[in-house]
Structure 1
Amino acid sequence: MNIYLEITLRALCAFTILMLTSRVLGKQTLAQMTYFDFISSITLVVITANIVFNTTYKVLHLAFSLLLFAAIILIVAQIALKSRKFRKLLAGDPTIIIQNGKILEKNMRKMRYTLDSLNQELRERDIFNINEVLYAILEINGILTVLKKPEYRTVTRKDLWIASPTEKKLPIELIMDGTVIDKNLSQNNLTPDWLNKQLMKHHLEVKDVTYAVLGGNKQLYIDTYDDHLQSPMDEE
């Protein structure tokens, strides 16, 4: 077999297996990279790369090893779901970095977490004064979560006793890339005629619309292909 054709077929095979494996394992590996998830992801990538480029091994043998490792990950994940101690063994515990405005240097050294990283994470949360922080916790996936002291927290409508409109539904996407999403219309008891009437109010047709979404407050947001901007910021 031609070497380029073989690599192409191997790549398609590896991609298909990896996609199916990812679907079975779920979203946690993508969203929460713990130590276990990190090691698992690297191993899956290495095996997949071998399927594509290492022509000295048979595809079936490498595919079997990939599926076997995926099965091990799945079994370990199922055990972790039922055992808190096992989860802690795999992922570790969250670590408190700041307590009542005081940096816990010992915990930072234990986690090999630098002041530069801490300051960057705080600035990304619009915190420039560490004294504003009640608790800062380094989660097991490496993300820093911060709880401000009460006097520095954002005031909400509830705090001011201001009535808020009720929103019982998620925003509903009606048009995407100039195409009506019929499934979303029918599931929410909306009709194409209703949508066309809404567009006519703005002198638009479906083909003119990039994105249209009905918010939880029943307000219709419409974005068109022609934004009527004289100097778009992203124009090269």
Structure 2
Amino acid sequence: METIITTSIRTLIGFFVLLFLTRMLGKKQLSNITFFTYITGIALGNIAGDMVVHRDIKLIDGVTGLTLWSILTLMIEYVSLKSPKARVILDGEPSIIIKKGKILEKVMAANKLNMDDISMLLRAKNIFSVAEVDYAILEPNGQLSVLKKAEQEPVTKKDANIPITPRKYIPSELIVDGKIVQSNLKEHNLKEEWLMNQLNKLGVKNVKEVFYAELQADGKINVDKKAQN
């Protein structure tokens, strides 16, 4: 019983310390946008895990390790932010894999990529033929950015001279599981009275009837009612 209690306490402490530190490190860390942030995420997870399960590691040592690693990460990120040279060293830089439709074999080899890898990355962009590609750039996070050849680009409304109606709103959720998302109403300067009027027009008398409601770009709302039991 004592073992269970001790492990539970160590787990709770490790969980909340790790949560606090990852929030402090910011969204860039959570997205694993570079090799450095990816490695940092793994290291923090390992330190927290060891702190929880290894009794020979004191809690204070584990928390100190997590805190120090996070501070060092913030320092490195600050240096990277202020110095372009440091940013290249720490984060790497983009590599052009396909240039003007030509595959650059030496660049592929330098990045340890083969044609199967390139084909897979292109398919993730809904491109199934290299012939469609003008430029392909391998980003520092391993993702591929693609610029299609001009003749392969989709036609836009501007190209087709189609009249464009400006968006009134950014599509946002207004109701989730029967509860109004007040922050989004406030963001768009909308009132609950307006929302209820819109729901009434759609035959909805009570917010609790709605599973999901979304504000559309034109000001209308899309409503998905809860399933009837």
Give the TM-score range, shorter chain: over 0.9
| SS of equivalent residue, structure 1 residue 3 | helix
Tell me the residue number matched to 1:234: none
Tell me the residue number matched to 1:176: 176
Q: Deviations over 1:100-123 (max 9, x none)?
A: 222111111110112111111212
Point out the more displaced range, 218-227 or 157-166: 218-227
Query: CA 1:93/1:154 → structure 2, altered by over 3 Å: closer, same or farther?
Result: same
Give the distance between the partners of 2:129 and 2:187, measured in 1 at CA.
Answer: 48
> Residue 84 of structure 2 aligns to which amino acid in structure 1?
R
> Residue 141 of structure 2 aligns to which amino acid in structure 1?
N
Q: Kindly report the root-mean-square deviation, in angstroms, between the aligned alpha carbons of the 2 structures.
A: 1.7
TM-score, scaled relative to structure 2: 0.93
Give the distance between the partners of 1:169 and 1:192, measured in 2 at CA.
Answer: 17
Q: Deviations over 1:175-223 (max 9, x none)?
A: 1111112343344333323222221222222112111111221121111
Point out the more displaced range, 179-188 or 104-113: 179-188
Write out aligned runs for 1:115-154 (5 A).
Answer: 115-154=115-154
Give the distance between the partners of 1:83 and 1:53, measured in 2 at CA.
Answer: 40
TM-score, scaled relative to structure 1: 0.90
Tell me the residue number matched to 1:226: 227
Tell me the residue number matched to 1:215: 216
Give the paired residue count. Answer: 227
| SS of equivalent residue, structure 1 residue 135 | strand
> Residue 219 of structure 1 aligns to which amino acid in structure 2?
K
| SS of equivalent residue, structure 1 residue 134 | strand
> Residue 216 of structure 2 aligns to which amino acid in structure 1?
G
Gaps of 5+ in 1: 228-236
Percent identity over the alignment?
Answer: 38
Give the distance between the partners of 1:127 and 1:43, measured in 2 at CA.
Answer: 35
| SS of equivalent residue, structure 2 residue 211 | strand
Question: Per-residue deviation at 1:160?
Answer: 1.6
Tell me the residue number matched to 1:203: 203
